[in-house]
Amino acid sequence: MLTNLKPQPADKILQLMQMFKDDPRDDKIDLGVGVYKDASGNTPVMRAIKAAEKQLWEAETTKAYTGLAGDPAYADAMVALVLGTSVERDQVAAAATPGGTGAIRQGLELIRMAAPDATIWLSNPTWPNHPSIIKYLGIPMQEYRYFDNETGGVDFDGMLEDLGKAKAGDIVLLHGCCHNPTGANLTLPQWAEVIALMQDMGLTPFVDIAYQGFGDGLEDDAAGVRMVASEMPETIIAASCSKNFGIYRERTGILMAVGQDKALHKVTQANLAFLNRQNYSFPPDHGARLVSMILTDDALRADWQAELEEVRLGMLDLRKNLASELQRLSGSDRFGFLGQHRGMFSRLGATPEQVETLRRDHGIYMIGDSRMNIAGLNAKTVPILADAIIKSGI
Catalytic residues: 127, 208, 210, 243
What CA–CA distances, in Å, run from 166 to 118, 172, 192, 196? 10, 9, 18, 14
Query: What is the DSSP code string of 119-160?
Result: PEEEEES--THHHHHHHHHT--EEEEE-EETTTTEE-HHHHH
Task: Please tell me the distance from the alpha carbon of residue 172 to that of residue 163, in angstroms, as a whole number.
Answer: 8
Omega of the bond leading into 125 within 30 degrees of 0 (cis): yes
Task: Please tell me the distance from the alpha carbon of residue 62 to that of residue 71, in angstroms, as a whole number.
Answer: 14
Task: Please tell me the distance from the alpha carbon of residue 346 to that of residue 125, in angstroms, as a whole number.
Answer: 12
DSSP strand pairing (153-154 vs 147-148):
antiparallel
DSSP one-letter code for 335: T
CB 197 within 8 A of CB 140: no
Looking only at Cα atoms, what is the longest distance across the chain?
A: 63
CB 285 within 8 A of CB 66: yes
CB 205 within 8 A of CB 228: yes
Alpha helices in the chain (DSSP H): 12-22, 47-59, 72-83, 99-114, 129-137, 156-163, 188-201, 218-221, 223-231, 265-279, 286-296, 298-330, 337-340, 352-362, 381-391
